[in-house]
Structures are given as C-alpha cells and as structure tokens.
Chain A
C-alpha cells in the first residue's frame, strides 16, 4: 500500500488545484457579474489604487531602471560587435514593452499587492469580518473583491507604462556611457521605429493588454486565497504565500499563451 502513497498525494494535489482553479474562476465571474456596482464602489476603488501605488511604485521604478541598464549593457556588447549598437534603444524598447515590462510589473504586484490582498482578506475572514458582511447581506465579492480587481486592472498597465519609460531611460544612460551611443541616435532610432502605427499599436497595446490581464489575475488569485483562509494567523501567512506562488505560475503560463495570440494577431 505504501507504494500507492505518492499517487494518492499527486491525486489530492490535482484535486486541490482543480478546486482552487474553479473557485478562482467562479470568483472572477461573480466579480464580473457585479460590475454594475462599479460607480457606487468608486471610493473603495480609489483607495485600493492608492494602496497599490504606495506599495509598488517605488520598487518597480528602481527595478525598471536597473533592468533597462542591464539590458543596455548586455545587448549593447553584442550589437557593438556587429556595429549596429545604434539600434540599442529600439531593442530595449521592444523587449520592455512586449515582455519585460508587463512581466516585471506583474511579478512585483503579485509579490507586494497580491500577497497583501490575500493577507488582508484572509485576516478579515478569520476574524469573522467576512461573515459579518454576509450577515449584513453585503456581498463580499462586490464589497471587497470587485474593487480590488478593478484597481489592479487599471493600475497594472499604468505601472507598466512607467516601467517601460524608466527602463528605456536607464538603458539610454548605459548606452551612452558604456557602449558609446549618442542620446540622439538612441532616441532617434526609437522614434523612427515607432513611425509605423501598426508597430506602435502592437508593442504598446499588446503589452498593456497583457498587463491588465495580469492585474486581474493577481487580484483574483489574491482575493481567492484570502477568502479561503482558515486556521487563524497561520492560515493568513499561508494564504499570502500561496497567492504569490500561484500568481507567479499563472502569469508565466498566461504570458506564453497571450504572447502567441498577440503575435498571431499582428503578423
């Protein structure tokens, strides 16, 4: 019988994952169903936006700056070998807008905001506050979850724009100082590249769309882990940890599929 143990473990893991996925999906659909209350909840959406901002803007911009710099350094050295370092700006822009920007923001938001959502809602759950809402006939999904999803759907793309911008700036400094690309060349090539409206559309809106989807994912997973919290403080810690891990995994997988679809759409 001991031989069967691993299979049992795998089986229950699969069941557990399926349950979680189902729960999160239901939560998402229920939030969509109460989108009608969005105007009423504007205050709590605004305060969630503020919380997201405070928790993540600083760190994201620092990360963006250094990512731009490291991209410039490593790519620059390669491009330099073929004497095409003038394209450095374009390469960084495209890399950031298409993949790195949305992705980095999502990871930071998952780590800071998603985990905080899980912890906050988890604490409310174990201290009977969510039950109190239910008893007052206030739908926790409309009251707690929907505003959080909306705020991240709005905020993730905004943060991504900042990230891309700061990353490109950071890249320009390294390009100039270490690779020897003039600022005029660096930005000149970027603007040249952006003259084609289709390109602009693809790299910006493709990236922003992904960001919005990531934002939604993070909020749904954070809230769903929070609402499923049990066992007091230990459970809250677990929920917030799980929110991060689940978000990371899901973002990675979603990213691949969305990138495939977006590329197919534009080429």
Chain B
C-alpha cells in the first residue's frame, strides 16, 4: 500500500496534536516514526485505520482519500491492514490462541478449524509464543502480550501493518527477533509498515526511512544513516537521549533547521 498524508490537522482535548502533518510512504517500505512521548505518534497511526478522523487534510491510501470514509468503506480498508496496539489490546477472557484466531473466525468463515489452528500456530511460532497458545492474557508478561498482539495483527496477512512500539518491554534478544519478523514480512510478503518506536537500535534495524515527529509535524526525515549523522539539534538530542537541548528547553529555535527562529523556511 502506498500511504500519503497531506497537511493533516487534528485537535484533541484542546491541543493541536497534528499540525499540518505530511508524510509519504512508498509501497513496500518500512517507515519509522520517532518522537517524544505524547507527541501524537499513536494518534497518527489511529488516523490511518480510521479510529480518529482528521479535522483537515488528506490521507491518501493507494491514491484514495480515506478521510470521511463510511463504515463499509472502512471495513474494506481495515481488512487489508494489521494494527499492533501499544498495549497489545488482547481480549482478556480469551486465550492467546483464541485472540489470534479471532479475525479469522469472524471474517473467514469458510476456513476449517484445523486450517485456522494451523495458521494461528504458524503466527505464534513466528513471534516466539508457540507455548502460550492456551494461556490467558492476564498470565502473560507485557512483552508476551505485545507479541501476541503482533501475531493477531498479521494473522490475515495484511498489506499494511502499523506497529505501535513493537519492541518496548521486550528484552534485547526478543527485540531483535521481532525486528526480524518485521523485516521478513517486508521482504517476503512486500508488506508496507509503519513502526512507531522509541528504541533507536530497533529503528535503525528495520527502517527504510525514519521521521521524527515534533509538535505535530515531521521535522526531519531520512534513511537510518542520515538520521544517525544528522545535524538537526532536535533529532540529535532525541537519538542521544540528552537531558539538555532544544527538545527540553523553552525553544525559540526552528525545529526544521535548528537555526534561530525566523520565518519558516520549509513548508511540508
């Protein structure tokens, strides 16, 4: 799927969360959104599945503007998407296996039980949860819930997968394994992915491009190498995790250029 956001605005709780956000993701690429907590990364993802509706602006998916889609159109779109929620969002009264099977049971009735089971086991194995099939979510660690959520998100082999912090709460080894899953989905099935993350190591591993969200816009975008060697002080502070810098100061510098604020040079 080809994704294009054009000047998307969204106000929530009296705050302008997305402020003319523009973003393009070519078919089959993996795009990482980084940014501080509370900048609207999850909000951005929610716009793409129609859980939130943009106040203004366009969200084009394969060239079709999905802002203002009705329920029926949204259903058609969502069928082709997988969404890993930040908290996993498993239904707590169902076992992991039942949770992962849910989209198949609800939407692909023609499948036999054994076929459903086979696909569920396959995806669980992919995320390293083959032993947790019969466990209830309450008996899982945070990282396991997230992986189960990932298995559920990809059970119907979607064309676009939205990952909300797929590696937070995972140990480094498991993080690498999940990154590999994301990579494999891309190379083997041509999945387009958007990964929201704080974990720079993971971002460098999976991303084709990385964009930093700040005050409702992408202030800097580039390949992992470009981001690693960026001169933008906002991005530098973020990726190095410094406590001092423009992100934490009452800033009067321009986040696009890092220079003292003048009129905005770039309007993306």
Q: Cα distance A136–B152 when bound, in Å?
A: 9
Contacts of A134 in B (CB 8 A): 51, 78
Contact assessment for A135 and B81 in the assembled complex, using a CB-CB cutoff below 8 Å: yes
Contacts of B91 in A (CB 8 A): 124, 129, 132
Shortest distance from the beta carbon of B104 to any chain A beta carbon, whole Å = 10
Contact assessment for B49 and A136 in the assembled complex, using a CB-CB cutoff below 8 Å: no
- B102 near A: Cβ within 8 Å? yes
- A202 near B: Cβ within 8 Å? no
Which of A47, A128, A138 contacts B85 (CB under 8 A)? A128
Contact assessment for B102 and A128 in the assembled complex, using a CB-CB cutoff below 8 Å: no
Q: Mark A137-155, 1 if CB is under 8 A from B, else 0.
A: 1100000000000000000
Contact assessment for B79 and A132 in the assembled complex, using a CB-CB cutoff below 8 Å: no
Contacts of A128 in B (CB 8 A): 85-87, 89
Shortest distance from the beta carbon of A54 to any chain B beta carbon, whole Å = 14
Contact assessment for B85 and A136 in the assembled complex, using a CB-CB cutoff below 8 Å: no
Shortest distance from the beta carbon of A78 to any chain B beta carbon, whole Å = 51
Contacts of B93 in A (CB 8 A): 47
Known contacts A127-B89, A128-B85; A135/B75 CB under 8 A: no
Contacts of A47 in B (CB 8 A): 93
Known contacts A127-B87, A128-B89, A129-B89; A135/B106 CB under 8 A: no
Contacts of B102 in A (CB 8 A): 136, 138
Shortest distance from the beta carbon of B1 to any chain A beta carbon, whole Å = 15
Q: Cα distance A199–B34 when bound, in Å?
A: 72
Shortest distance from the beta carbon of A31 to any chain B beta carbon, whole Å = 16
Residue in B closest to A142 when the chains form the complex, CB atoms? B106
Q: Cα distance A134–B78 when bound, in Å?
A: 9
Residue in B closest to A230 when the chains form the complex, CB atoms? B13
Contacts of B83 in A (CB 8 A): 132, 135
Q: Cα distance A180–B90 when bound, in Å?
A: 60
Residue in A closest to B102 when the chains form the complex, CB atoms? A136
Residue in A closest to B91 when the chains form the complex, CB atoms? A129
Q: Cα distance A132–B155 when bound, in Å?
A: 14
Most chain B CB within 10 A, of A127, A134, A137, A138, is at A137
- A99 near B: Cβ within 8 Å? no
Contact assessment for B78 and A131 in the assembled complex, using a CB-CB cutoff below 8 Å: no
Q: Mark A109-135, 1 if CB is under 8 A from B, else 0.
A: 000000000000000100111011011
Residue in B closest to A134 when the chains form the complex, CB atoms? B51
Contact assessment for B46 and A136 in the assembled complex, using a CB-CB cutoff below 8 Å: no
Which chain B residues in 85-130 approach chain A with CB under 8 Å?
85-87, 89-93, 102-103, 106-107
Q: How large is the interface on A (under 10, 10 to 19, 20 to 34, 35 or more residues)?
A: 10 to 19
Known contacts A131-B51, A132-B83; A138/B106 CB under 8 A: yes
Shortest distance from the beta carbon of B107 to any chain A beta carbon, whole Å = 7
Contact assessment for A135 and B51 in the assembled complex, using a CB-CB cutoff below 8 Å: yes
Known contacts A131-B46, A131-B51; A136/B87 CB under 8 A: no
Q: Cα distance A137–B82 when bound, in Å?
A: 11
Contact assessment for B106 and A136 in the assembled complex, using a CB-CB cutoff below 8 Å: yes
Shortest distance from the beta carbon of A53 to any chain B beta carbon, whole Å = 16
Contacts of A127 in B (CB 8 A): 87, 89
Q: Cα distance A54–B93 when bound, in Å?
A: 16
Contact assessment for A136 and B103 in the assembled complex, using a CB-CB cutoff below 8 Å: yes
Contact assessment for A136 and B51 in the assembled complex, using a CB-CB cutoff below 8 Å: no
Contact assessment for A132 and B85 in the assembled complex, using a CB-CB cutoff below 8 Å: yes
Known contacts A128-B85, A131-B46, A132-B85; A137/B78 CB under 8 A: yes
Contact assessment for B78 and A132 in the assembled complex, using a CB-CB cutoff below 8 Å: no
Q: Cα distance A127–B145 when bound, in Å?
A: 13
Contact assessment for B85 and A131 in the assembled complex, using a CB-CB cutoff below 8 Å: yes
Contact assessment for B90 and A136 in the assembled complex, using a CB-CB cutoff below 8 Å: no
Residue in A closest to B13 when the chains form the complex, CB atoms? A230
Shortest distance from the beta carbon of A149 to any chain B beta carbon, whole Å = 18
Contact assessment for A137 and B90 in the assembled complex, using a CB-CB cutoff below 8 Å: no
Contact assessment for B75 and A137 in the assembled complex, using a CB-CB cutoff below 8 Å: yes
Q: Cα distance A201–B17 when bound, in Å?
A: 61
Contacts of A129 in B (CB 8 A): 89-92
Residue in B closest to A44 when the chains form the complex, CB atoms? B93
Q: Cα distance A142–B87 when bound, in Å?
A: 23
Contacts of B107 in A (CB 8 A): 136-137
Binding site for A on B (CB under 8 A): 46, 49, 51, 74-75, 78-79, 81, 83, 85-87, 89-93, 102-103, 106-107, 149, 152
Known pairs A124-B92, A136-B78; list 5 more (Cβ under 8 Å).
Answer: A47-B93, A129-B91, A132-B90, A132-B149, A135-B78
A-B contact pairs, 24 of them (CB 8 A): A127-B87, A127-B89, A128-B85, A128-B86, A128-B87, A129-B90, A129-B92, A131-B51, A131-B89, A132-B90, A132-B149, A135-B49, A135-B51, A135-B78, A135-B81, A136-B78, A136-B102, A136-B103, A136-B107, A137-B75, A137-B79, A138-B102, A138-B103, A138-B106
Binding site for B on A (CB under 8 A): 47, 124, 127-129, 131-132, 134-138
